[in-house]
Amino acid sequence: MARRIREHYIESLFILAMAVMFAAGVVTAREWPLKSALFPTLIGVAGCIIAVILSLWTGIRGGDEKAPEGPGGAADIFLDVNLRSGEALKRTFIICGWLIGIFVGTWLLGQLIALPLFVFLYLKVGSNEGWVLSLSLTAAAVAFLYGVFDKVIHASWYEGELFRFLGIELF
Amino acid sequence: MLEAAQLGLQGILSWPAFGYLLLGISLGVFFGMVPGLSGLSGMAILLPFTFDLQPYEAMALLMGMYAITSTSDTISSVLLGVPGTAGSQATIMDGYPLAKKGEAARAFGAAYTVSGFGGVVGAFLLVCSIPILSPLVLSFGAPEFFLLGVLGMAMVGALSGSAPAKGILVGLLALQFSMIGYSPQDGIPRFWFGVPYLLEGFPIVPCVLGLFSLPEVVELAVRRGTLSDVPEMGKGLADGVRDAARNWWLALRCAFIGAYIGFIPGLGASIVDWVAYGHAVQSNKDPKAEFGKGEIRGVIAPEAANNAMKGGSLIPTIAFGIPGSATMAILLGAFLIHGIYPGPELLSTRLDVTFSVIWALVIANVLTAILLMGCTNQLAKVTTIRGSLLIPIILVLVFMGSWMATQELGDWLVLMGLGALGYLMKRWGWPRPPIALGIVLGPIMERYLDISVSRYGWSWLWQRPICIILILMTLATLYYATRSQKRR
């Protein structure tokens, strides 16, 4: 219960941050010509008013009980996940770590190395899969990245800061 | 119109467009079947691959995928008791009990037949709406289109979730995001914080992938394990087809209900099946029927409706440029990327593109129904793939899909930032569709507002009858949504 109350305050602060953002938008827009400032001002004023009211409502009344997303098709999956349990939280942090790892890895090594490396490490280290499966899927990832993105779509690849620093030109 | 229909059909059947349609169908079967992927994620992942395609090819790929996720989602609903997408929740009510009784094949036979039928009915209604909507759309000016945008945002914001105020606020936030970059009016850089990446605006693809795909991947990673044990299909596929034929009147009624719900922005996927299911229960006169315990009509009703809904949901997107859901917002994004502007253009000079969409819808629905009848046993095995194997594959697709927006690391920062926002919103029960809508609709609404004010001042707000009607409809939507929330 205490955790739920605390979460309401966090949510209230989140909405208040939105209000500040809307207000900042309105203030910034004052420096622009009318044509550019009109829409941001209208949106900013409306957003700021709603955000302040909703923030107070959520903070004081505890907001609405959490409900799944309704019509509109956002929530296409209904997995029974208790995100409040310690184990679930740990797993959430682990997958977030992998996501950050992909970004940092690509920044350092470029996608053509970082993404297959991620696939291999996730399968072998993160999921304890066998060598054959891990290597096969990694090879498939390399073939997919190179075949589809390089040969078909002709995407440009990020070089990787490490290679730039070392003066090695890969692509 | 006949000429445009013929051109559209030729466009879709020509090579390589037809190949892309088949590819879209194959991917749609996969995206619909695996809980957590969904048609929305599929659209978001496929969108960047359409950049280099011709309009017909792009529409074939996207529509092939989009049209049939509500056919293939039946597999997980019936075999796992978990909806493959939001539109197949009600199918579980009787589909899963049927599977437990060893009659999964019968449920599939009925579901595929009415899914194909519903998809064709939805497409037929879309065709019928063209002559009615054309003169209406052509009579609209900039003020009407701006207010239609406001109405669309209000409907989706207020109706797509449990808290209208949150939906509206999220929609406004997205409109604010859409203003990042050079102003289309006079080229003033706005909200760019000295970051050159932001000058070109907020790219839609990383936003959508971040908001909708990353949170699902996180959940899949947290849940772990396999999605299902190897299912036992049983026999009776032909019985299911006969059940569908016997209940054609129910299927037709539910298809109309589905198309109508799809037409209204903000409703759609997650209520259409329940409304149709409720209708089947209420209109039932058979005393032996046991809904909830494996009644075949409980499968027929939602499956006919959720496929027909797709045709209905295309009407506001194509005719008015008002997407009724996040998926439609992505489709609208695809139109804009290919230089096609919904509204008068798609109903007049580019009517052939509209018909290519309709033909893709019809062909995809019919082909998929036949395909799934033949190989459900084999396809069902996909639901037994471990989540740990799916996650790296999905993440590679998501990250590379985002990369295709501008091919800068900033795309990935947007992806991860919006992913965090999407995760928090999902956790707190905030609706996410208004964000995708706002980002796509923002520039369009701003352009129409600018034209309206420059041309008419503010007098259009009270001097144009259609504008007054649209304002009243917006107010009524907000009033209805607030009242519904109070009742809850």
Cβ neighbours around B349 below 10 Å, total: 12
Q: Scanning every residue of chain B, which has its alpha carbon at the shortest distance from the alpha carbon of A133?
A: B389
- Tokens 């920062």 -> residue: B413
| Dist CA A71 CA B273 (whole Å) | 11
Residues of chain B positioned with their CB less than 8 A from the CB of A103: 409, 412-413, 416
CB B438 within 8 A of CB B178: yes
Over its length of 171 residues, how does chain A's per-residue pLDDT go in tens digits? Answer: 555 556 677 888 888 999 999 999 999 999 899 888 999 999 999 999 999 998 888 877 765 544 444 433 333 333 444 555 678 888 889 999 999 999 999 999 998 899 999 999 999 998 888 999 999 999 999 998 888 778 777 778 888 889 888 887 766
The ipTM value here is: 0.83
CA angle A108, A110, A113 (to 5 degrees): 105
| Dist CA A99 CA A104 (whole Å) | 9
At B84 the pLDDT is 65
- Residue to mutate among B23, B399, B454, B486, with most A CBs inside 10 A, is B399
| Dist CA B483 CA B485 (whole Å) | 5
Judgement on whether residues A98 and A33 belong to the same structural domain of the protein: no
At A69 the pLDDT is 45
Q: In this complex, which of B175, B271, B413 lies closest to A43 when CB atoms are compared?
A: B175
CA distance B218 to chain A (A): 6
Domain membership of residue A32 (yes or no) is yes
Judgement on whether residues A156 and A102 belong to the same structural domain of the protein: yes
At B412 the pLDDT is 92
Cβ neighbours around B226 below 10 Å, total: 13
Judgement on whether residues A105 and A159 belong to the same structural domain of the protein: yes
Domain membership of residue A130 (yes or no) is yes
Q: In this complex, which of A33, A81, A106 lies closest to B223 when CB atoms are compared?
A: A81
Report which of B480, B96, B60 is spatially closest to residue B299, judged by C-alpha positions: B96
- Residue to mutate among A11, A31, A39, A150, with most B CBs inside 10 A, is A39
CB B416 within 8 A of CB B399: no
Binary contact (B176, A74; C-beta < 8 A): no
Cβ neighbours around B195 below 10 Å, total: 11
**What are residue B265's phi and psi, to 5 degrees?**
-60, 140
At A27 the pLDDT is 93
| Dist CA B211 CA A127 (whole Å) | 25
Segment holding B190, helix H or strand E: strand B189-190
Count each helix (H run) and each strand (E run) in chain A, helices first. Answer: 6, 0
CA distance B249 to chain A (A): 26
Residues of chain A positioned with their CB less than 8 A from the CB of B445: 39
My answer on whether omega of the bond before B434 falls inside 30° of 0, hence cis, is no
Q: In this complex, which of A54, A73, A102 lies closest to B169 when CB atoms are compared?
A: A54
CB A41 within 8 A of CB B446: no
Task: Write out pLDDT tens, residues B390-419.
Answer: 889 888 888 887 887 788 889 899 999 999
Q: Using CB atoms and an 8 Å cut-off, which of residues 207-246 of chain B contact chain A?
A: 212, 214, 216-224
Give the predicted TM-score (pTM) of the model.
Answer: 0.72
State whether residue B431 sits within 8 Å of chain A by CB. yes
CA angle A66, A67, A70 (to 5 degrees): 150
At B230 the pLDDT is 41
Judgement on whether residues A101 and A161 belong to the same structural domain of the protein: yes
Report which of B330, B321, B314 is spatially closest to residue B49, judged by C-alpha positions: B330
Report which of B370, B425, B364, B328 is spatially closest to residue A75, judged by C-alpha positions: B425
| Dist CA B320 CA B11 (whole Å) | 24
The number of angstroms, rounded, from the C-alpha of B225 to the middle of its chain's C-alpha atoms is 28
Task: Write out pLDDT tens, residues B24-41.
Answer: 888 888 888 766 566 777
**Greatest distance between any 2 Cα atoms in chain A:** 63
> Cα dihedral sign for B85, B90, B93, B97?
negative
Residues of chain A positioned with their CB less than 8 A from the CB of B179: 39-40, 43
Q: Scanning every residue of chain B, which has its alpha carbon at the shortest distance from the alpha carbon of A54?
A: B165
Domain membership of residue A73 (yes or no) is no
Cβ neighbours around B341 below 10 Å, total: 14
Report which of B392, B279, B395, B289 is spatially closest to residue B45, judged by C-alpha positions: B395
| pLDDT, block means (10 residues), chain B with 488 residues | 78 84 87 71 80 82 84 78 67 79 82 89 83 75 86 75 80 90 87 87 81 80 62 71 90 87 66 77 77 85 87 81 77 81 77 84 88 76 72 86 83 91 83 79 87 90 90 87 71
Judgement on whether residues A110 and A157 belong to the same structural domain of the protein: yes
Judgement on whether residues A21 and A93 belong to the same structural domain of the protein: no
List the domain range (segments joined by +) for residue A157.
Answer: 86-166
What DSSP state is assigned to residue A168?
-
- Residue to mutate among B398, B414, B426, B428, with most A CBs inside 10 A, is B428
CA distance A71 to chain B (A): 5
Residue B190's DSSP bridge partners are: B181
State whether residue B388 sits within 8 Å of chain A by CB. yes
| Dist CA B54 CA B278 (whole Å) | 42
Binary contact (B219, A79; C-beta < 8 A): yes
Residues of chain A positioned with their CB less than 8 A from the CB of B407: 155-156
Binary contact (B270, A46; C-beta < 8 A): no
Q: Structural domain tally of chain A?
A: 2
Q: In this complex, which of A54, A71, A78 lies closest to B165 when CB atoms are compared?
A: A54
| Dist CA B83 CA B307 (whole Å) | 15
Secondary structure class of B181 (helix, strand, coil): strand
Judgement on whether residues A124 and A56 belong to the same structural domain of the protein: no
Domain membership of residue A80 (yes or no) is no
Domain membership of residue A81 (yes or no) is no
Supply A19's token pair: 């209000």
CB B342 within 8 A of CB B318: yes
Judgement on whether residues A162 and A91 belong to the same structural domain of the protein: yes
Binary contact (B426, A99; C-beta < 8 A): no
| Dist CA B8 CA B120 (whole Å) | 16
Domain membership of residue A76 (yes or no) is no
Domain membership of residue A47 (yes or no) is yes
Binary contact (A77, B269; C-beta < 8 A): no
Number of A to B CB contacts under 8 A, please give it.
255
Judgement on whether residues A53 and A91 belong to the same structural domain of the protein: no
Q: In this complex, which of A91, A96, A103 lies closest to B412 when CB atoms are compared?
A: A103
CA distances from B468 to B137, B263, B382, B453 (A): 16, 21, 52, 16
| Dist CA A122 CA B258 (whole Å) | 42
CA distance B407 to chain A (A): 7
Judgement on whether residues A22 and A91 belong to the same structural domain of the protein: no
Judgement on whether residues A98 and A158 belong to the same structural domain of the protein: yes
Judgement on whether residues A50 and A95 belong to the same structural domain of the protein: no
For residues B347, B351, B354, B359, the Cα torsion angle rounded to the nearest 10 degrees is 140
Domain membership of residue A78 (yes or no) is no
- Tokens 């009784």 -> residue: B101
| Dist CA B448 CA B184 (whole Å) | 11
CB B158 within 8 A of CB B168: yes
CA distance A43 to chain B (A): 6
My answer on whether omega of the bond before A116 falls inside 30° of 0, hence cis, is no
Residue B386's DSSP bridge partners are: B226
At B35 the pLDDT is 63
